[in-house]
Amino acid sequence: MRERKVGDIKLTLACMETDRTRPILDGRVRVPGCELVPVHADPQDIFRRALQEQAFDVSELSMGSHITTTARGDNKYIALPVFLSRSFRHSCIYVRSDRGIATPADLKGRRIGIADYQQTAVLWLRGMLHDQYGVAASDVRWRTGGMEAPAPVRLALDLPAHLDVQRIGPIDTLNGLLAKGEIDAIMSPNPPSCYVKKAAPVERLFPDYQKAEIAYFEQTGFFPIMHALTIRKDVVAANPQLPLEMFRAFVQAKAIAMAELNQSGVLKFALPWLVCHYAETRRIMGPNIWAYGFRENRDEIAAMTRYAHQDGLAARIVDPAELFHPTTLDAADMA
């Protein structure tokens, strides 16, 4: 456990426990001058409480929501270029196999279920569909709601009238509507239970999604950013040194995680060929497979702000630098 020092500021930290955050959460890596109090919760609950209640001093936050609130000027948090969640998303499109949907272009005119219109995974999927397959956001009828149980709205949106975005019924679920055939597809990081249980004619649009995702990376250079670390603006105002110190600590924590992936003497994780997998991933993606830092990721973030604008989430294209605290813009990932 970390030792609290006299003069430390006490801050709540809401984030998922992963290999990249564990060295912070267990005290192996300290943020100078801080005592961090971890808050454990589901990411969707963290995002809702941060956006609606500003409940945490430091919070993991959806980049889609952060771009949206920054564009309209009511963001209460400022981000650091610490990207706590990244994920390729070709695996996340589930379609009714009885609707003639064989290619991404076949999604035009379809009813697609999503958790939230600003969900970052969906932001990336819409961007990919637009840029690579010519499917615009306005080509689809979007239906938002909970996957397996009704869910509250996370962030109120004011979308352009030409977009067809509707909330499903108060007792409906996306999985239930897909199983009944009332929607044609779902975009979700987690598979719907009707797909898992083979209870309905539902398949992935990209069955060999790893191959599709590698090809996407080789074409774009993007490893899609999902969540960033953010600090509430009033906390930053009172502690202007905090963003850079926090960035450095999380870079150090990630370096520990990456070293553990390559540890072969005693395996840290229950995968026998993890070292081989890590080596192959680095061959494809380069030595720093999970890059932090603004400069290292500027092109990718610019793509995200462009997607948010073309999807109607943002009335303007946000300058990527506007999303992050200025003291961190030149800070480099030491990996």
pLDDT of residue 6: 52
Position 1 scores a pLDDT of 44
pTM: 0.95
Question: Is 3's pLDDT higher than 90?
Answer: no
Q: What is the mean pLDDT of residues 210-228?
A: 98
CA distance 168 to 42: 23
| pLDDT tens figures, 278-292 | 999 999 999 999 999
Question: What is the model's pLDDT at position 77?
Answer: 98
Question: Given strand 58-62, what is the order of strands in its sheet?
Answer: 34-39, 9-14, 58-62, 225-232, 77-86
Q: What is the mean pLDDT of residues 3-17?
A: 84
* Domains along the sequence of the chain with CATH: 9-86+224-328 (3.40.190.10), 90-220 (3.40.190.10)
Mean pLDDT over the full length of the chain: 96
pLDDT digits (tens, 9 = 90+) for 20-54: 999 999 999 999 999 999 999 999 999 999 999 99
Nearest to 60 by CA among 47, 48, 41: 47
Of 187, 180, 215, 222, which is closest to residue 201 (Cα–Cα)? 180
Query: What is the rounded end-to-end Cα distance, in angstroms, of the chain?
Result: 26
pLDDT of residue 334: 79
219 CB-near residues (< 8 Å, 6+ apart)? none
Q: What is the mean pLDDT of residues 164-186?
A: 98
Residue-wise pLDDT for 58-92, tens only, equals: 999 999 999 999 999 999 999 999 999 999 999 99
Q: 7 falls in which pLDDT band (50, 70, 90)?
A: low
Question: In the prediction, which pLDDT does 174 show?
Answer: 98
Q: Single out the residue of 110, 114, 99 nearest to residue 168, CA to CA.
A: 114
